[in-house]
Amino acid sequence: MINAIIMASGYASRMGENKLLLDYNGIPIIEHVFKEVEKSNFGSVLVVSQYEEVLKLSKKYNFIAIYNENAHIGQSESIKLGIKNSSVCDGFMFFVGDQPFIDSKYINKIIDKFAEDKEYIVMPKNNLRKGNPVIFPYSKKDELILLQKDEKGKKIISKTSKVKYINVPDSMLIDIDTKEDYKKYIGV
C-alpha cells in the first residue's frame, strides 16, 4: 500500500499570496489536487501545511491534516512530517498542492508501475521534463528524513539508477508559481 503526502506549506513568494487558495473553476487550486488524489487507491492521505484554511479543507476529504510549524525551514520539513506521521506502507507518493491539472488516471499509472517493483522510484515525465507526483519506496525513508532545508527528493533521485518513468501529458506537470502562470494557465 502507498500513502500519499500532499505538501502544501510553501510561502508562494513568487506569487505574493497563497496560490493554493486561488480559484480555478470555482474551487481552490489545491482542491483539484485533493479531488484527484481521492480517486486513487492510497492507504492514507496526509496533507502537510502551515495554512489553517488548507488543513480545514483537507478534513472535508477525510485526509490526515498535519500542521507544519517549521515551514520556514524549507520543503524538507514537509517531507519529514509526512513520513513521520505516515502509517506503515510500501512507499510514499509526494504531491505538491499547486498542480491544478493533475489527473487520477496518471496517478494510478504511476502507482501501477511502482507495484511492479517496490524498490524503484517512479515519477511522471513528458519528453525531457520531469515532475510530481513521485513515489519513493519505503527503503528510501531514512534518506528522505535526512534532507535538510529546501532539499527535495531530486537529491535522492540523482544518486540512484532505480528510477522508472510514466509518460504523462504536459499539462499534468504544470504548477502555478507566479501571477503570470496563473494568468496563462487559468486564464484569469
Greatest mean pLDDT among 4-13, 21-30, 117-126: 117-126
Helices marked H in the chain — which ranges?
29-38, 52-60, 75-84, 104-116, 141-145, 154-157, 179-181
**Residue 135 DSSP SS3:** strand
Task: End-to-end CA distance of the chain: give it in Å, rounded.
Answer: 39
Burial category of 52 from C-beta neighbours within 10 Å (exposed 0-12, middle 13-18, buried 19 and up): exposed
Q: Does pLDDT of 130 surpass 90? A: yes
Radius of gyration of the chain (CA): 15
- Helices assigned H by DSSP within 61-103: 75-84
Q: How confident is the model at residue 112 (pLDDT cuts 50, 70, 90)?
A: very high
Q: What is the pTM (predicted TM-score) of this model? A: 0.94
Instruction: Indicate if the pLDDT at residue 15 is higher than 70.
Output: no
Residue with cell 528510501: 140
Confidence of residue 185 (pLDDT cuts 50, 70, 90): confident
Task: Provide the residue range defining the domain that includes 17.
Answer: 2-186
The mean pLDDT of 97-124, rounded to a whole number, is 96
* Number of structural domains the chain divides into: 1
Distance in angstroms (rounded) separating the CA atoms of residues 90 and 184: 38
Residue 29: give its domain's CATH number. 3.90.550.10
What the block records as the C-alpha cell of 76 is 524538507
Mean pLDDT of 82-95: 96
